[in-house]
Structure 1
């Protein structure tokens, strides 16, 4: 058993060395923690700002044992952590948060939809398919268009394609790799929203205001927060977040993506058991941002306030847009967050900026 709350000076472990891990590491350092990152890349964004970098695969027993030797509490920056890695760490006496249940649900899109519906969180109609023939049968019953997604992995629009005609379903299944898929009915939504919420080890919750999100090519382009929504929508989103946190016995920050329908109802698109791109606005809009909130939760500290002091427009910097840093630095209302990635590629998230206006 790990003694909690984790005191300053302790080492906190992070599985994953990308930009989310980097911002988690910076938040942990501000609270007085040392950070150990397990990552396959020796020069990762998170490793650049951490005390220790352990180079290895996320399920490498030797690397996990090395992490367990220095960190008694471990979290992760992405949901595709191998389940056996969490099990290995737990067997080594390490506390891992969020827990295995949240990972299992988030790693399988069918399990995720089933959990959400069972928790009273509505989603679009969906069905699973394990073959091209089964996908075609589902399409014939549900009707087209349908969005076909791989059940596992995939992000930023990857691992998914629209099926416009029943006759295309089998070919689309093969184009996605011939792996199990989920087929989803389209949502007649007017805008995409998201909510960032946290649950501590004592069961206390903290929920941030909604953000309005705009995507391009499957990648988040910008978020506006707090979103201009009715009290009814805000309350419904908070209820959904509370159900998700409680249903998963969750510890840490979760991101929940939502569709607002024309009639004002909300549908859940997906959940992410981690800090989330649509929550980056909290870095400059709240006194305790989503990254510090997550560290507080997994370390057993009290959760912080979520009341915003500013309205924020968050813009992702993709590819060579990062080269506009000099221009952005001249803008007095703009806060720059760069990720330390060495090579800019088209569509790659290189950083983000928060354009801030006081409320």
Structure 2
């Protein structure tokens, strides 16, 4: 892949905060960004161009693609087929094939298992009868997740016993799902890995991830010893997944640190919330390395920029403390420019780096 020269335009599908931070990283390297989304969002504030359109609107996507030298995406809830068609006219990274696998929890589990990954026991569920059968085979407690379009705890329901089946099925909208046994684990962590077009890879130290109400609340690096002991195995799996997909860009795999080793939870074919700490906490951020990868530049080093790094999400009204956070010595405040602080909505984050 020939490196794109500065001044080239990077198309980004999605107008959220990830697109915003990708745009900032792109600008630092001399690139322009052009956003495609149904509605304006945080990324529009820092982007040079914008095309409004539905993600399955082939005509609008074609117009958008004509303005771009390469296209990427900031979230995976976009239709894979129109993106594959777009890829016939302009390079798209990561590939639509990687997107299609990550969009379907069943395909994702099967694919990672083929790569040698360890997963929780699971069964596909397409009806109340199949849910009853899956519960009989897996047991409780368990969690029911829609196969598609679920994130931040959405599209999920926990079952403590068979008596919860009917309510859980209704809670996820009676849609195709996957039932997973709950894993006994000490910690949650993630591997954030960048892969260049030439096949070179670089990954960051795995953060300890703490969730609240299904939403990431805090990521901390270095992670505890129980995570560090499983870093090598988890990172090797991420590398095999990226290679098998011919992946270009940043890929994130989430894990549970269990007594048996790292248990794969899910995959995100994009930059990830658990990697936000890398903006100030690493030599090269996940956003810069994603831009470097998709533009054919060499990847930057991923070592820590301090002895300890903590990223705290500002969710809902937590962002109202922006003035206090701005006055905190050593705190790096990121506000996403969202107009309304709804409960459960990520409004920004703050990173603290100990030198």
Query: Is TM-score (shorter-chain normalized) higher than 0.5?
Result: yes
What TM-score do you get using the length of structure 1 for normalisation?
Answer: 0.95
Q: Distance in 1 between matches of 2:222 and 2:296?
A: 27
Match among 247, 272, 278 for residue 250 of structure 1: 247
Determine if the alignment matches structure 1 residue 145 to structure 2 residue 145: no
Contact 1:337 1:353 in 2 (8 A): yes
Tell me, in whole angstroms, the C-alpha distance in 2 between the residues paired with 1:202 and 1:84: 26
2:10 is matched with which residue: 9, 12, 22?
A: 12
Q: Structure 1: 5+ residue runs without aligned partners?
A: none
CA drift at 1:166: 2.1
RMSD: 1.3
- Residue in structure 1 matched with residue 324 of structure 2 by the alignment: 327
User: Deviation at 1:264?
Assistant: 5.8
What residue in structure 1 maps to residue 32 of structure 2? 34
Matched residues in 1 for 2:326 and 2:240: separation? 41
Corresponding position of 1:349: 346
Deviations 1:167-222 (CA, angstroms, capped at 9, x unpaired) = 43244223311111100011000111111101110000001001001111001110
Aligned partner of residue 23 in structure 1, secondary structure: helix
The 5 A counterparts of 1:117-156 are: 117-156=113-152
Output the CA distance in 1 between the equivalents of 2:316 and 2:85: 36
**Unmatched 5+ stretches in structure 2:** none
Give the structure 2 partner of residue 215 of structure 1: 211
After superposing on structure 2, the runs of 4+ consecutive aligned residues of structure 1 that deviate more than 6 Å are none
Structure 1 residue 112: Cα displacement:
0.6
Displacement after TM superposition at 1:232 (Å) = 3.6
What is the SS of the residue equivalent to 2:42? coil
**Candidates 52, 71, 74, aligned match of 1:74:** 71
Aligned residues: 353
- Which range moved further: 173-182 or 107-116? 173-182
Deviations 1:27-76 (A, max 9, x none): 0111101110001113x100110000111111222321221111021000
Partner residue of 1:52 out of 49, 52, 63: 49
> Which residue does 1:115 correspond to in 2?
111
SS across alignment from 2:350? strand
Residue 176 (structure 2) aligns with: 180
- 1:10 Cα deviation (Å)? 0.5
Deviation larger for 77-86 or 20-29: 77-86
CA contact (8 A) 1:282 1:290 kept: yes
Q: Deviations over 1:244-273 (max 9, x none)?
A: 211211110011111011x26111111100
Distance in 1, matches of 2:72 and 2:317, equals: 31
1:136–1:167 contact (8 Å) kept in structure 2: no
Aligned residue number for residue 267 of structure 1: 263
The answer for the alignment partner of 2:59 in structure 1 is 62
- Following TM superposition, by how much is the alpha carbon of 1:146 offset from its aligned partner in structure 2, in angstroms? 1.3
Q: In 2, distance between residues paired with 1:323 and 1:151?
A: 35
Secondary structure of the 1:271 match is strand
Q: Per the alignment, do residues 341 and 46 of structure 1 end up closer, same or farther by CA in structure 2, a change over 3 Å counting?
A: same
Matches of 1:229 and 1:258, distance apart in 2: 15
TM-score by length of 2: 0.96
